[in-house]
Amino acid sequence: MRTDISRINEHTPYEELTEGLMMFAGGTSKSFKTGEWRTNTPIFHSEKCKQCLLCAPVCPDGCIPVKDSKRSDFDYDHCKGCGICVKACPFNAIEMVPGVEPVINS
């Protein structure tokens, strides 16, 4: 029964799925790239950022990585472009631009 779920994909026959689609691992949403869902994209201007970190906790998808008390650029694999971080930033260090492509390519 217990299976390495990385071996299960959309080509797996029904006989080889786990019972009731049980998942034998945590944090599997990481491997599900939802960034392509967004229609607007936040751009991080690091020169304006004071590292107040008001943005990171309000992100519903945990897409603002924080290390050693400093934020870095967005996790565009999962950011859905909701724009909540833009409203939270007191220093205009995040700018919302239309579209998804420019940022993913940069």
22 lines the binding site for another protein (CB under 8 A): yes
Provide the residue type at 10 as one letter.
E
Contact region with another protein (CB under 8 A), list: 13-21, 39-47, 49-57, 81-89: 13-21
Which of 25/52 has CB closer to another protein?
A: 25
Contact region with another protein (CB under 8 A), list: 18-26, 36-44, 66-74, 95-103: 18-26
Among 4, 6, 10, 60, binds another protein (CB under 8 A): 10
6 lines the binding site for another protein (CB under 8 A): no
Q: Between β-strands 40-44 and 70-71, what pairing exists: parallel, antiparallel or unpaired? A: unpaired
Instruction: Name 101's Cβ contacts closer than 8 Å, sequence gap at least 6.
Output: none
Reading phi first (left if > 0) and then psi (alpha if -120 to 50, else beta), residue 62 is in: left
